[in-house]
Amino acid sequence: MRFLVDIDDTISNFGEVLVRELNNIYNTSFTKEDMNNWEWLKDNFKNPWIPTESKEFWDKITIDENAINCLEQLVEKGEEVYLVTASFPSDTLGYKIRKTLENFNEKYIKKENVIVCYDKSLIKGDIRIDDGIHNLCKGDLNILLTRPWNKYFDEKKSNILTIRKNNWKEINNLFNF
């Protein structure tokens, strides 16, 4: 099976770091929990992507150890795993990818396992793991990682096959790891 796994806020703490950095720039006191929809960043900050343009920002991002373990075990079992990011070309995109990959054993996840695109629906997969409801695709099994901006999405009323999980420990349990 082919697994397509989002990077920002799915395997990493991107949103937490972004809000912290924006608070420093704009002298605000928001938390990640305040981000209750996809427009929240643009509604509250003139340019919310400024912090992502520095390497120092990406140095502060961490990758969830449970995500690393799960994804490496999937590869060990013979599954295809791709890290997918909806990013635009930038001076720091390559650095972001390198910083993400340095957390994985290259035997399992390497640069050939990273896909950069704007529209993730263009990529064919069997199982998608993401935090963005706009990235869920019909025809795939979607695992939605609960985040403040998707907590009101009702996967039972959706016509897209979706399983909601709250963290990577729950995802690991789904695959019996």
Q: What is the pLDDT of residues 95-107, one digit of tens each?
A: 999 999 999 999 9
Query: Which strands sit side by side in the sheet containing 141-145, from one edge to the other?
Result: 114-117, 80-86, 2-6, 127-130, 141-145, 162-165
Report pLDDT for 38: 84
pLDDT tens digit sequence for 36-62: 998 999 999 999 999 999 999 999 999
Confidence of residue 82 (pLDDT cuts 50, 70, 90): very high
In whole angstroms, give the CA distance from residue 131 to residue 111: 22
Q: How many CB atoms lie within 10 A of CB 52?
A: 20
In whole angstroms, give the CA distance from residue 63 to residue 11: 6
Residue ranges of the chain assigned to CATH 3.40.50.1000: 2-12+63-174
Task: Please name the fold of domain 2-12+63-174.
Answer: Rossmann fold (3.40.50)
**47, 54 contact by CB (below 8 A):** no
Report pLDDT for 75: 98
In whole angstroms, give the CA distance from residue 163 to residue 138: 13
Q: What percent of the chain has pLDDT over 70?
A: 100
Q: What is the mean pLDDT of the chain?
A: 96
Which residues lie across from 169 on neighbouring strands? none
pLDDT of residue 156 exceeding 90, the answer is: no
Report pLDDT for 18: 98
Find the Cα–Cα–Cα–Cα dihedral 154, 160, 166, 172, rounded to 10°. 160
Report pLDDT for 142: 97
